[in-house]
Amino acid sequence: MRINLRAGARRWRLEQPRRGRGGLRRGAVDWARDYGRGEAHLSADCDEGDVVAYLTGQWEVDGVLVGDEEADPKVELMVLDHLQVVWTHNCEHGQCRGWALAVSPGGGVEVTGREDLVQCGPEQLVARLGCRWKDEDTGQLVDDLPEEIGRLVQTQ
């Protein structure tokens, strides 16, 4: 359950997650580029248990290079545990935290460790990937890893 204040709303309201861990929303891949900014951002549409791809190394935000200027861009995967993000009409700021995932060439995913959460900013999100979970730590991506992500992600 999460608390949301949507544009035009006069009070906080509790929202139930829109689906369980094994279901899909719109497609096998929801690209961040197809969303907007602020409350229309992909991060505002994510829930606990979603598999997301995010950028590490160096990436661009509003035309400005950020991150580690010495590192090549790379994509990593995580299953979201929680979000701590503030969304306005045109901006999103905060942290997306979850468990690191390893992906096999066949699209299998596995939580790599439950000791430490990994985190990224909402601007680092590339996509939400549809996943059918077999158990708490292993699942199967609904579709092949898109090439745009696959060429930057390490497989097991």
> ∠ CA 61-31-71 to the nearest 5 degrees?
45
Q: Bridge-partner residues for 74, per DSSP?
A: 56
Amino acid at 114: R
| Domain range annotation of the chain | 19-150
5 phi and psi, to 5 degrees?
-125, 105
Strand pairing report for 74-87 and 92-103: antiparallel
The pLDDT value recorded for residue 7 is 46
Specify the pTM.
0.79
What are the tokens at 66?
């950020």
- pLDDT tens profile 63-118: 888 888 888 889 999 999 999 999 888 888 899 999 999 999 889 999 998 889 99
The pLDDT value recorded for residue 154 is 65
The pLDDT value recorded for residue 16 is 36
